[in-house]
Structure formats: structure tokens, C-alpha cells
């Protein structure tokens, strides 16, 4: 899900709130999200890393690529 906001959610500088999830029965394989205080980040398996948000289109493409390449 992606929501367009009226103003950025700190520390993000863009106008989107998002939570993109791929998994089964409570097991997360890939997730991209941003939250107040934590900012843009991605989860892959048990790893979490900072995500460099550039555009909404790039975010969706990066998520789709990770889902397609998940093993």
C-alpha cells in the first residue's frame, strides 16, 4: 500500500507513506516500508537495510525486482 501525504513524514523528504510486503502466513520474505523516526528501509529475509528513495516508480520497480528474484 502507498499513501500520498500532504507533507513529508520525518525523516523522509518525500510525500509518500508505504508498506510493500511479500510473504506467507506471517513470514516476511521482502518488505519495503517507512515509518516515523526510522525512515525508508527494506527487509529481505532477516536482514534490514536503509533504502534510498528516489521516486515512487523506482520504489515499485525495486520491490518488484526483489520479489521476482526471491529464492
CB 31 within 8 A of CB 18: no
Domain range holding 33? 2-68
Number of domains in the chain: 1
pLDDT score, position 46: 86
Q: Mention every residue, 6+ apart, whose C-beta is less than 8 A from residue 1.
A: 18, 19, 20
DSSP string, 23-70: EETTEEEEEEEEETTTEEEEEETTEEEE-----HHHHHHHHHHHHHT-
- Residue 3 is predicted with a pLDDT of 96
> Do 23 and 29 contact (CB within 8 A), yes or no?
yes
Mean pLDDT rounded to a whole number for the chain: 94
Whether residue 71 has pLDDT greater than 80: no
Average pLDDT for 2-28: 93
pLDDT tens profile 28-57 = 999 999 988 889 999 998 899 999 999 999
Amino acid at each position: 500500500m502507498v499513501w500520498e501525504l500532504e507533507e513529508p513524514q520525518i525523516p523522509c523528504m518525500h510525500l509518500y507513506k508505504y508498506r510493500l510486503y511479500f510473504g506467507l502466513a506471517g513470514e516476511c520474505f521482502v518488505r519495503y516500508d517507512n515509518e516515523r523516526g526510522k525512515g525508508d528501509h527494506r527487509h529481505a529475509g532477516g536482514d534490514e537495510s536503509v533504502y534510498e528513495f528516489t521516486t515512487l516508480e523506482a520504489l515499485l520497480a525495486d520491490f518488484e525486482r526483489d520479489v521476482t528474484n526471491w529464492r
